Chains A and B, each alone.
Chain A
Amino acid sequence: MAPPAEVLAVRGLSKSFPGVRALDDVDLTLHAGEVHALIGENGAGKSTLIKLLTGVYRPDAGEITFQGSKVSFATPLEAQKAGISTIYQEVNLIPLLSVARNLFLGREPRNRFGVLDIARMNREAEKTLRGYGVRVDVRRPLRTLGVGAQQMVALARAVATDARIVIMDEPTSSLEPREVETLFSVIRRLRDAGIAVVYVSHRLDELYAVCGTVTVLRDGRRVHHGSLADLDRLALVSTMLGRDLGEVREEGLTKFTGDHEATDTQPVLDARELTVPHKLHEVSLSIRPGEVVGLGGLLGSGRTETAKAISGALPVRSGRVTVAGVPLRGGSAPAAIRAGVSLLPEDRKSEGIVPGLSVRENIALAVLPRLSRFGLVSEARVDSVVDTFIKRLRIKASSPHQKVGELSGGNQQKVLLARWLAMNPKVLLLDEPTRGIDVGAKAEVQKLVDELAADGLGVLLISSDLEELIEGSDRVVVLKDGAVVGELTGDDVTEDKLMRTIAGDAQVEHLAKEVATDG
């Protein structure tokens, strides 16, 4: 049997954005009937690659050969017409239009007067969707369907437009298990029909269930490609994270001193069975005063969601949070702040600092109501609070009146930290506190985290930097697909154990436990 035809060949694709080389000399080959896993951590270049393939971005260098000829798509529409369809994480259809009209938008059957043949459209839509396990009244508005069924309509639409390649960007992030099964059977059918599928997901189970080949990206470069069966889970995770197995734990690279100790008191924060539909499943964790608890897991495993759920920024369906023994009424960020829970969000640009305001104003923002009487702010008290924190956090600004937008990333992060510390919190939730700041500032922030824990704060640390997570945390709670899959304590807090837990290699974990108990 002749090998299946090559549908897509990408050679030396590169793309830079100001200050970042997002994609660096990447190759990718797809054959007809191939289901290809594209994986990588945040910033690895997956979405840049997809956007280059679908005409959203233009490459700086390299070429894309599609079905034997060189192509350069100017718009997503062009790519789609040529036969590269994309299904996005969020359904990109028109919610108010009927299911059938969505399915046929732009290629509706018409009679000879150019008037739409609605009856035929509905009939064909019904028939097509039955093939995807969706049995609905196609005249109903799309939005009355469940998310899974909507995703199927998007898929049916993508395939119906004579696609040769279907790119699925985390298609299962909002699907129920049963719907995932249907999706898989559709993918297998596409494969059998000779359509190449690029499957992006962080759920390892799914990758192994449906993909044959894999490309791993890291820091914009292709670090591995080949058959997925040849790469076990542990190897996959370590390739993705860029850590060698059994790599000796290096000391002293981070500024964590670890000279703080959890006091043997009641936990200052106790979260029990937090559940958010599609995002978190019964996540429990507790933090004692003076303790830094790390939250480990891959991108999309629910780390940020856990922090947001605890801080009331994300409504939970069930579960409860107790702060210093007092139950927190769920779903309310102000209540969480009053109870002493402060969240330093992942994206400080959009969720944190106000760049146009001064350092002083940014620090005082949250604490302002406490420094005012009858709605009038006491300037003297603001000054004293601001001065204290600028000194304590070693914020480098020309004056308290400098605009925060003019500061470096590290100092912006410190200003944010100061804002929440001014509230005198009991628990600090730090989501990627050192992302995007330079090495020196990183060390400063890490040192601060230590100091704060030594002062008796409970700290939850989320970091994609394994080193930072391992060295900064007293304990690490590991998440996978929105659920807790393990907890590392004491000597088990190592990169090796963390990766094994993430990979979910039950046997390895079991062995590790045995060794641990033997020792």
Chain B
Amino acid sequence: MTVTKADASVTTANNEPTGETEPVGSARSERLSALIQQHGALAVLVLVSLVASFSFDSFATGDNVSNMATSSAFLAIVALGMTFVIITGGIDLSVGSLFALGGVLAAWGSRHGTLVALLLPLAVCGLIGVVNGLLVARSRLAPFIVTLAAMLGARGLLLAITDEGADTFLIGKGSFLAELGQGTTLGLGNPVWITLALFVAGAVVLRRTRFGQHVYAVGGNEDAAALMGAPVARTKILVYTLSGLLAGLAGALNAAWLASGVTILGNGMELEAISAVVIGGTLLTGGLGYVSGSLVGVLLLKVIQNVINQIGSLDSSYQQVVSGAFLAVVVIAQTWLGRRRQLM
């Protein structure tokens, strides 16, 4: 946390005094709170990684880092879409099922060529995302219920395709798809590069396009956004579609990495993605959030899992206990900071 404090003083010093209006609370403590909210997870990630690399010889090795990066990539892609949804004030519980569905569809489609293997999961998962968006935006149903239904429905569809999970579709070795999932470039797995590219694009879309502005506006104050001319319904439909597409893509890449579509994957992944987004500083109530934070959130979850694995004596079941406790601490801290900044 010392890092953030130092940053805060620099920021404060660089800024001009701010005119005649009275800010809510002192500007300095406001900036500090904002900074902790935005970058607190990064500070913890750096701290945990440093401690882990001093404590365990096997932590900071090329292999381990590369493994962590690849296994983080799929969750990160899902969390990217979730970030958009949560900033609009919504939630998408269907992504875990869509992740699994995307994987199975990609593996099934790989028998008909790479193009089918990539486009089929995107088409199906994107379509389910559109339906989610339509129900949330046009029918004004609660996102929680709509995406819960989609989660159950997609899981059912998955079982139907795979004959209750009895059929497993494999992805042929040496195909382009397999290369996409398993190959490496400059020492890092291809999924990692794809993820990074998606996050850069996501950050630009969110901060530097009108659509991104609308996402924040809808989550910040929906009624005001409508009065200000933001296309509220279209924005909502788009974020759920995006979330569906990214979940499907993540599933397809994961299948390519594993060389098969595995039906039991993705259980609880929606909650992991939500955790990562919240840890990364995005407000569950909407209107405030950062894609970079979500990436950090995913990495933090994965590093903690990895550290627990390194401590050989600790049962891996405790991973979830620690993750849960950590999430609780983060949410408490976020709420506290939010109240301090009078966001809630």
Q: What residues of chain A have their CB less than 8 Å away from a CB belonging to chain B?
A: 76-77, 80-81, 92-97, 101, 105-106, 108, 110, 114-116, 118, 133-137, 140, 143-146, 148-149, 157
Contact B16 A137 (CB under 8 A): yes
Contact B213 A95 (CB under 8 A): no
- Pick from B18, B204, B213, B223: contact of A108, CB under 8 Å: B213
The list of the 4 closest CB pairs from A to B, nearest first, reads: A135-B19, A94-B220, A149-B21, A92-B224
**Bound: A146/B20 CA distance, A:** 9
Task: Give chain B nearest CB distance to A104 CB in angstroms.
Answer: 8
Task: Give chain A nearest CB distance to B110 CB in angstroms.
Answer: 35
Cross-chain pairs A/B with CB under 8 angstroms, 24 sampled: A76-B226, A76-B227, A80-B229, A92-B228, A94-B217, A94-B287, A96-B216, A96-B219, A96-B288, A105-B217, A106-B228, A108-B210, A110-B210, A115-B208, A115-B209, A116-B207, A116-B209, A116-B213, A133-B20, A134-B19, A136-B19, A143-B342, A144-B23, A144-B30
**Bound: A106/B224 CA distance, A:** 12
B224 / chain A contacts, CB cutoff of 8 Å: 92-94
Contact B221 A95 (CB under 8 A): yes
Contact B287 A145 (CB under 8 A): no
Contact A144 B213 (CB under 8 A): no
New A-B pairs, 16, CB < 8 Å, besides A94-B221, A96-B216: A92-B227, A95-B221, A96-B219, A97-B213, A97-B216, A105-B217, A106-B230, A115-B208, A116-B213, A134-B21, A137-B15, A140-B23, A144-B27, A146-B21, A146-B22, A146-B23
B213 / chain A contacts, CB cutoff of 8 Å: 97, 101, 105-106, 108, 116
Contact A77 B342 (CB under 8 A): no
**Bound: A96/B204 CA distance, A:** 19
B225 in contact (CB, < 8 A): yes
Contact B23 A145 (CB under 8 A): yes
Task: Give chain A nearest CB distance to B137 CB in angstroms.
Answer: 16
A118 / chain B contacts, CB cutoff of 8 Å: 208
**Bound: A118/B206 CA distance, A:** 13
B24 in contact (CB, < 8 A): yes
Contact B18 A136 (CB under 8 A): yes
Task: Give chain B nearest CB distance to A448 CB in angstroms.
Answer: 41
B343 in contact (CB, < 8 A): yes
Task: Give chain B nearest CB distance to A208 CB in angstroms.
Answer: 27
B214 / chain A contacts, CB cutoff of 8 Å: 105
Contact A96 B287 (CB under 8 A): yes
Q: Report B179-231 residues with CB < 8 Å from chain A CB.
A: 204, 207-210, 213-214, 216-217, 219-221, 223-230
- Are A144 and B19 also in contact (CB < 8 A) when A94-B217, A108-B210, A116-B213 are? no
**Bound: A134/B23 CA distance, A:** 13
**Bound: A146/B27 CA distance, A:** 12
**Bound: A134/B22 CA distance, A:** 11
Contact A93 B228 (CB under 8 A): yes
**Bound: A101/B230 CA distance, A:** 12
B19 / chain A contacts, CB cutoff of 8 Å: 134-137
- Pick from B16, B24, B217, B226: contact of A144, CB under 8 Å: B24
Task: Give chain A nearest CB distance to B261 CB in angstroms.
Answer: 37
Q: Report B250-291 residues with CB < 8 Å from chain A CB.
A: 287-288
A146 / chain B contacts, CB cutoff of 8 Å: 21-23
Task: Give chain A nearest CB distance to B169 CB in angstroms.
Answer: 39
A101 / chain B contacts, CB cutoff of 8 Å: 213, 216
Kindly report which residue of chain A lies nearest to residue B216, judged by CB atoms: A97
Task: Give chain B nearest CB distance to A158 CB in angstroms.
Answer: 10
Contact B20 A95 (CB under 8 A): no
Task: Give chain A nearest CB distance to B124 CB in angstroms.
Answer: 29
Contact B24 A92 (CB under 8 A): no
**Bound: A144/B27 CA distance, A:** 8
Task: Give chain A nearest CB distance to B334 CB in angstroms.
Answer: 14
Contact B204 A92 (CB under 8 A): no
**Bound: A97/B343 CA distance, A:** 12
Pick the most buried of A92, A97, A116, A145: most chain B CB atoms within 10 A of its CB: A97
**Bound: A149/B227 CA distance, A:** 19
- Pick from A96, A105, A110, A115: contact of B229, CB under 8 Å: A105
B208 / chain A contacts, CB cutoff of 8 Å: 115-116, 118
**Bound: A77/B287 CA distance, A:** 21
- Pick from B20, B226, B343: contact of A77, CB under 8 Å: B226
Contact B229 A77 (CB under 8 A): yes
Q: Report B319-344 residues with CB < 8 Å from chain A CB.
A: 342-343
Contact B209 A137 (CB under 8 A): no
**Bound: A97/B15 CA distance, A:** 19
- Are A96 and B210 also in contact (CB < 8 A) when A106-B229, A137-B15 are? no
The contact string, 1 if C-beta is below 8 Å from chain A, for chain B 13-39, is: 001101111111001001000000000
B20 / chain A contacts, CB cutoff of 8 Å: 133-135
Task: Give chain B nearest CB distance to A113 CB in angstroms.
Answer: 9
**Bound: A105/B210 CA distance, A:** 8
Kindly report which residue of chain B lies nearest to residue A152, judged by CB atoms: B21
A149 / chain B contacts, CB cutoff of 8 Å: 21
**Bound: A110/B210 CA distance, A:** 9
- Are A137 and B342 also in contact (CB < 8 A) when A97-B213, A105-B228 are? no
Contact B16 A97 (CB under 8 A): no
Contact A92 B223 (CB under 8 A): yes
**Bound: A282/B229 CA distance, A:** 41
- Pick from A80, A133, A140: contact of B18, CB under 8 Å: A140
Task: Give chain B nearest CB distance to A156 CB in angstroms.
Answer: 13
Pick the most buried of B214, B224, B230, B288: most chain A CB atoms within 10 A of its CB: B224
Kindly report which residue of chain B lies nearest to residue A101, judged by CB atoms: B213
A95 / chain B contacts, CB cutoff of 8 Å: 220-221, 287
- Are A96 and B343 also in contact (CB < 8 A) when A115-B204, A115-B208 are? yes
Kindly report which residue of chain A lies nearest to residue B224, judged by CB atoms: A92
**Bound: A118/B213 CA distance, A:** 12
**Bound: A134/B18 CA distance, A:** 10
